Structure 1
Amino acid sequence: MPSPLFADRPAVRPSERDAVDAMINRARRLRGDLDSVCRAAVVIDEDDPHQRWQRALCELAAHHLDDLGARLGQLREGSPAPAPDTGPAEEEQGGPLSGRAGSAEWNLLDDGVEWSAELYEIFGRDVDAGPLSLDELPTVLVPEDQPLLTSMVTNCLIDGKPMDGEFRIRRPDGRTRTLHAMGEPVLDPEGRTVSLWAVLRDVSALSDSRQLEVRTRDSLHRQDDIARTERRIAVELHQAVLPSPHDSLGPVRGGSGAVMDVAARLLPSRACGPTTGTDWYDAMALPDGRTLLTIGSLSGRGIPAASSMAMVLGALRGMAVAGVEPRALLTHLNQLLQASVQPTLGSALCGLFDPSANLLTWAQAGHPAPLLFRGGSGAPLLPPDGVLLGAVPGIAYGQETVRLLPGDVLLLRTDGPDPAAARGAAPEKLLGLAPRFSRSLTAAECVQTVAEGFGGEDRPVEGSVLVARIAG
């Protein structure tokens, strides 16, 4: 008792054919546009989950468009054309069966069953064996999908709900195919259900693409979760090691009282987000009455960089307490990074201020020189020799000494506040802050001035700044 919706219905009328042809042409143009987008946007790197996800989305969209074109072609012709006879290997890859559709009708009055020729091909069933009855159909499904089919058929025949769902079958050749079933009850003139009509379509390739998209999306989400966790740990480690989360490090006291007011700040960038553990700064009064001033930055990101920073800053503090001079201190840090399990590069500046003589002794390793502001003007100090930490084994570092006066402001920074200075250019913008520094009463006010002028999130790299103001 074929339904008027049976799959093998006549072709559409000429006026309808024109509309279907127009839709087919639009689908073909969309398919071409998709190919162009996928070629331009997806560079396959199997180690990059985001690129794998992009590829999966492109393949899924391509399957949808290919399927749409095939369905429109069937609508125009009235029935699908027979598929060419190909070998099992092609079918295993989704080949000619993928996208094929066949129809079936199960008569509830006389137990008769009608299958279209395409359905025998999809199920891999010999025509001489006849179609499967509703009772036999679950036997070819994978066990976990059998309850789903039973539920769909029951809801359709008893409650009159349209059947719409996917299940997997195992063909006689052992291969598994995913079918999408759409069906409805067929009623007699008195409104009684007399048969179940359905169209079953092989969507194996489409199902595989959906699964690939889900797997790559989940992998990408897991990678993002791991990255966020690592960033949080790195930030917490970084903040735990630095001397203070606030601008002001307070007055650093020497043997005769407060001699130096110190403040510092980390300056994140929009590109890097929150600080990723590469920069450090420190100011510490030493047992011999001198004051340690240091600032630096390491290569890398995340937990490894934060761990290396903690190691370097700990070693630096220990050597300073032991009375090691700045140039020797940098020599030892260079050896430490050379011997590390995870070699890294770093720039650093280390100074010791002696309040009894108002002398700052300092050394640098590939780092911008301090800026000295005095009397409303500023200038960089003449740097001693020094290359990046971890770059060259057995290198010797130079050392310079400068006398500081009451009211002087000394500014130490990493590349972030003024990247041009790291390339050897004069830090004119920072030096232009001299008049404002001369009116500032505390080091924290000077740091705030720097942050207002250079601390915006549009900076290309993160950075940090430390200001020491000599009491007077």
Structure 2
Amino acid sequence: MPPHLSADHPAAQPPGRGAVDALITQTRRLKGDVDAVRRDVPGDGSDPEDRWQRALYDLALHQLNDLDEHLAQLRDGPEDEPPQAPPAQRPAPARESLLSRVGSAEWNLLSDEASWSAELYEILGRDPASAPLTLDELPSLVLDVDRPRLTAMVTDCLVDAKRIDGEFRVVRPDGETRTVHMMGEPVLDGDGSTASMWAVLRDVSALRRSQEAVSETRDSLRHHRHRAQTEHRLAVELQEAVLPPWRGSLRLPHQGPPALHLAARRLPPSSRAAIGGSWYDALELSDGETLLSVGDLAGHGVAATSGMAMLLGALRGMAMTGTRPGPLMTWLNQLLDATVQPALGSALCCRYRPDGRALVWARAGHPAPLLFRGGTGRRLDAPDGVLLGATTTASYGEAEETLEAGDVLLLHTPGLVPGDAEEASVRRLLDLAPRLGAADTAQDCLRLVVEECGGAAREAEACVLVAKVVA
């Protein structure tokens, strides 16, 4: 269709071919860069953030493809057939060509005649041999909900000479719904009256689907983040409610001269999502003994912290009845095996008797305590004991150690030293023996351990408990 001139809009001069070629080159280079980054985004759809990023890249590529094709049409001018791009730049066979997505029309108000391009017939799915629809007939193709929008645009154009720029959805004869973007303006006669209206109509269905995908994945990502933040807050609150809120050395027992000075710390993970089921605990028992324990339940989030709270509550209750560490581990194992959501965990449980300074302990797949005495350190010989929840019929042995005044006992969960294997972690802690031996309090000892192990970024939380024998 020949270009139209309105009384108040002079014809613009088309850009030079060389300038358009430069824009096409830049667009295709940018397409390649975006596509290269897009391929690095995981495509399995398991992570909402990955889905959101991939949808954004898809939308950007779609818009760049459209820009590339529009620039090519601007450079080559209207043709019966679209120019063939080189193979590396040619759109995929399943992709619609530009000429099937952009059409034009003119409606003459004086003669009530309409003129459509062949591309507009294809967009609307109508037989090219049929007569083009008049402005009064055009709304019959539009969804009921969008008809007022189209009517308002056309009325504003014809009555107030306003430019048209809007979208509506049409239903093709085959039942498919397409989204069409319409841009146009009135053509005025010599006395300033509207003589006709012309428009360019573009099928933007695929583009809108890409935008909807971006919106949906963004909403999904927001929901995922909100849920993760809520679970993180609940896990932290549950952990803080269960673990002893120690801010300095805790002295046990509360009556009589102190036998142990205790200090403990939870070293948080560097990632907010990694709150887990690690714990430390010290409890003064009715018979005058002291229960010391550390442990780690597999998993993260509310499930892990609630499971940890269950185990710690059961451990405290059974210890108050006088259950020894070995049988206590057996009962914990059966409890974990009988839960609705079975899990694995490790634990270390000690009972310290001030009379005779006897330490009786058992473990379930957990690192053994470290004993520091006279400027040297060693790992206590560990009794048998598999992970909690590994097997229903597990039994747990006990070991006994006689402590001396001034001894420092260190209990910790796995991963106390970030990045180190268990043996390397033990050697690194044992190297602190001279400094721990010179420390006055359990809190001083804990501070040395944290300075050694707490500075590096850690993938999971860790707990450490220090006990210093004072009498």
TM-score past 0.5 threshold: yes
AA matched with 1:143: D
Counterparts of 1:369 and 1:389 in 2: how far apart (Å)?
15
1:212 equivalent to 2:216? Answer no
Q: TM-score, normalised by structure 1?
A: 0.87
Residue in structure 1 matched with residue 107 of structure 2 by the alignment: 106
Distance 1:316 1:153, change over 3 A: same
1:120-139 equivalences in 2 (<5 Å)? 120-139=121-140
1:172-191 mapped onto 2 (5 Å cutoff): 172-191=173-192
Q: Given the superposition, is the C-alpha separation of residues 15 and 185 from structure 1 closer, same or farther in structure 2, using an over 3 Å criterion? A: closer
Provide the rounded CA distance (Å) in 2 between the counterparts of 1:143 and 1:304. 50
Q: Contact 2:418–2:453 at 8 Å: present in 1 too?
A: no
Is the Cα contact below 8 Å between 2:249 and 2:442 reproduced in 1? Answer: no
SS of residue in 2 equivalent to 1:331: helix
The answer to whether the aligner puts 1:281 opposite 2:280 as a matched pair is yes
* 3-state secondary structure, aligned to 1:258: coil
Deviation at residue 132 of structure 1 after TM alignment: 2.5
Q: Which residue of 2 aligns with 1:298?
A: 297
Q: Does 1:369 align with 2:368?
A: yes
SS at match of 1:37: helix
Q: Summarize deviations over 1:394-429 as a string: whole Å, max 9, x none.
A: 222221111222222211111232257763346233
* Residue 200 (structure 2) aligns with: 199
Which sections of structure 1, spanning at least 5 residues, go unmatched? 7-11, 84-92
Whole-Å separation in 1 of the counterparts to 2:257 and 2:99:
85
Structure 2: unaligned runs, 5 residues or longer? 7-11, 83-93
Q: Which amino acid is 2:127 matched to?
A: D
2:144 match? 143
| Matched residue type, 2:353 | D
- Structure 2 CA distance for partners of 1:416 and 1:14, relative to 1, 3 Å: same
Equivalents in 2 of 1:134, 1:236: separation in Å?
65
Deviation for aligned residue 1:13: 10
User: How large is the RMSD of aligned CA atoms in angstroms?
Assistant: 2.9
In structure 2, C-alpha distance between the alignment counterparts of 1:374 and 1:325, rounded to whole Å: 26
Is the 2:274–2:460 contact (alpha carbons within 8 Å) kept by the matching residues of 1?
Answer: no
Instruction: Report the residue type matching 1:313 in the other structure.
Output: L
- Counterpart-to-counterpart distance in 2, 1:215 and 1:453: 46
In structure 1, what residue type is equivalent to 2:388?
L
Q: Deviations over 1:18-50 (max 9, x none)?
A: 4333433443444444444333x1443244433
How far apart in 1 are the matches of 2:57 and 2:4? Answer: 37
In 1, the alpha carbon distance for the partners of 2:68 and 2:378 equals 72
Report the equivalent of 1:67.
66
Matched residues in 1 for 2:75 and 2:51: separation?
Answer: 36
Q: Map 1:2-401; keep pairs closer than 5 Å.
A: 3-4=3-4, 16-39=16-39, 41-79=40-78, 81=80, 95=96, 100-158=101-159, 160-244=161-245, 246-248=246-248, 250-253=250-253, 256-270=256-270, 272-273=271-272, 276-401=275-400
- Please list the CA deviations of residues 376-404 of structure 1 after superposition, one character each: whole Å capped at 9, or x if unmatched: 33322222222221223322222111122
Change in CA separation of 1:224 and 1:274 when aligned onto 2, cut-off 3 Å: closer
CA deviation digits over 1:236-281, x for unaligned, max 9?
A: 112212122x3336212166442222221110121x3376131011
SS in 1 for 2:326: helix
Distance 1:253 1:14, change over 3 A: closer
Stretch moving more, 14-23 or 336-345: 14-23
Specify whether residues 359 and 376 from structure 1 end up closer, same or farther in structure 2 by C-alpha distance, changes over 3 A only: same
Cα offset, 1:159, TM superposition: 5.1
Residues 379/114 of structure 1: CA separation in 2 closer, same or farther (3 Å cut) = same
In the TM superposition, what is the alpha-carbon distance from 1:3 to its structure 2 partner? 4.4
- What is the distance in 2 between the residues matched to 1:107 and 1:300? 71
**Quick check: 1:38–1:58 contact (8 Å CA) kept in 2?**
yes
**1:101 offset after TM fit, Å?**
0.8
- What is the Cα deviation at residue 15 of structure 1? 8.6
Matches within 5 A, 1:442-453: 442-453=441-452
Name the counterpart of 1:462: 461
* Structure 2 counterpart SS, 1:429: helix
CA distance 1:445–1:222, change in 2 (3 Å): same
Q: Distance in 2 between matches of 1:132 and 1:457?
A: 72
Could you tell me which amino acid in structure 2 is paired with residue 181 of structure 1?
Answer: M
Q: Is the 8 A contact 1:384 1:399 kept in 2?
A: yes
* SS in structure 1 of the partner of residue 253 of structure 2: strand
Give the structure 1 partner of residue 85 of structure 2: none
* Deviations, residues 61-84 of structure 1 (Å, cap 9, x unaligned): 23222212221222123225458x
What SS class does the counterpart of residue 363 from structure 1 fall into?
A: strand
* Shift in Å, 1:463: 0.6
Q: Is the 8 A contact 2:107 2:134 kept in 1?
A: yes
Identity of aligned residues (%): 53
Q: Is the 8 A contact 1:266 1:275 kept in 2?
A: no
Q: Which amino acid aligns with 2:387?
A: L
The match for 2:87 is none
Give the AA of the match of 2:103: G
Counterpart residue identity of residue 267, structure 2: L
Q: Which moved more, 1:413-422 or 1:339-348?
A: 413-422
Q: CA–CA distance in 2 between the matches of 1:15 and 1:254?
A: 89
Equivalent residues of 2:274, 2:300 under 8 A apart: no
Change (3 A) 1:126 1:337: same
Closer/same/farther in 2, CA of residues 190 and 374 from structure 1, 3 Å limit: farther
In the TM superposition, residue 333 of structure 1 has moved relative to its aligned partner by 1.3
Partner of 2:86 in structure 1?
none
Contact 1:412 1:466 in 2 (8 A): yes
CA distance in 2, matches of 1:357, 1:5: 106
Structure 2-normalised TM-score?
0.87
Q: Letter of the aligned partner of 2:176 in structure 1? A: R
